[in-house]
């Protein structure tokens, strides 16, 4: 697998699978506050780049300059997923530290993440809190911390790795500007390893707004909580592999 394929696959691994569709009785502002998919998200690949503006010598968004993540940041999010018109919602958080080549993506109670599910790690409640932990060694661990069960999903040989901060630099294209949680956010799309497009929105200051994908008819949205965004150093204990993590997943990637 090429390095570009690994990077694209990593983007999908960050988020994979939780569903939702808007209720016909909900307003767009109400849906955005819940992290629901707006009507614009359903046709985002048809958006045209028409909303740029000039502030002094600065053009935003600049089609030649896709957003680049800080090397270190953490942020909370609301996650929604829809399959067969059945919504699933939960909260979560990202911890990202590219300087140490580590990352952790927490999906809280109610999650339906396909890498967490089906591993037999929490047979009583597979929707319980789950962590996807990328380590310095290139391993990706699936962890259910509340029951102290864990397994290794894959490594660099299988294409699992921490996403580069500039993952949109190659192949990323501007698709338009939307208002998300009262912020003007530019959307960028890139062909995904699994999804036809991994779509990421950020505001003028580079703060994440939303991630969106559609996989075989399953709609998946992550809407970030701006007030929780921080680029302060992250304690490396956040990325420590628990001592009970010793076995391989019964459903490794790739199958």
SS3 content of the chain, % helix, strand, coil (to 5): 15, 40, 50
User: What letter would DSSP give residue 3?
Assistant: H
* Residue 161 to residue 166: CA distance in whole angstroms: 14
Q: Which residue reads 């999908």 in tokens?
A: 12
The structure's pTM equals 0.78
Tens digit of each residue's pLDDT, the chain (255 residues): 444 444 434 444 443 322 222 222 233 333 333 333 332 333 333 334 445 555 555 678 888 899 999 999 999 999 998 887 788 899 999 999 999 999 999 999 999 888 898 899 988 888 899 999 999 999 999 999 999 999 999 999 988 889 999 999 999 999 999 999 999 999 999 987 666 788 999 999 999 999 988 877 788 899 999 999 999 999 999 999 999 999 999 999 887
Q: Is 184 exposed, middle or buried (0-12, 13-18, 19+ CB in 10 A)?
A: middle
Which tokens go with 108?
A: 């809280």
Domain annotation for the chain: domains and CATH numbers: 3-239 (2.50.20.30)
Q: Cα(first)–Cα(last) distance of the chain, in Å?
A: 16
What are the angstrom distances between the C-alpha of 51 and each of 175, 176, 218, 226, 238?
A: 10, 7, 29, 22, 39
What are the angstrom distances between the C-alpha of 239 and each of 9, 27, 48, 100, 153?
A: 21, 39, 40, 10, 16
């Amino acid at each position: 697998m090429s390095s570009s394929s690994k990077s694209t696959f990593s983007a999908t691994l960050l988020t994979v699978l939780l569903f939702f569709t808007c209720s016909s009785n909900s307003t767009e502002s109400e849906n955005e506050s819940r992290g629901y998919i707006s009507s614009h998200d359903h046709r985002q690949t048809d958006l045209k780049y028409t909303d740029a503006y000039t502030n002094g010598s600065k053009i935003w968004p600049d089609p030649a300059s896709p957003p680049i993540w800080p090397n270190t940041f953490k942020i909370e999010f609301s996650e929604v997923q829809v399959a067969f018109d059945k919504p699933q919602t939960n909260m979560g958080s990202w911890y990202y530290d590219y300087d140490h080549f580590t990352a952790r993506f927490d999906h809280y109670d109610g999650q339906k993440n396909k890498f967490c599910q089906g591993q037999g790690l929490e047979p009583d409640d597979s929707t319980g809190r789950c962590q996807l932990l990328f380590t310095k060694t290139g391993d990706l661990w699936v962890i259910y911390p509340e029951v102290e069960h864990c397994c290794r999903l894959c490594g660099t040989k299988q294409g699992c790795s921490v996403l580069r901060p500039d993952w949109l630099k190659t192949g990323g294209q501007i698709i338009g500007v939307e208002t998300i949680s009262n912020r003007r956010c530019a959307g960028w799309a890139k062909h995904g390893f699994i999804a036809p497009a991994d779509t990421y929105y950020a505001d003028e200051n580079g703060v994440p707004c939303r991630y969106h994908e559609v996989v075989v008819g399953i709609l998946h949205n992550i809407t970030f909580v701006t007030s929780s965004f921080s680029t302060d150093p992250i304690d490396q204990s956040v990325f420590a592999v628990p001592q009970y993590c010793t076995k391989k997943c019964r459903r490794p990637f790739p199958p």
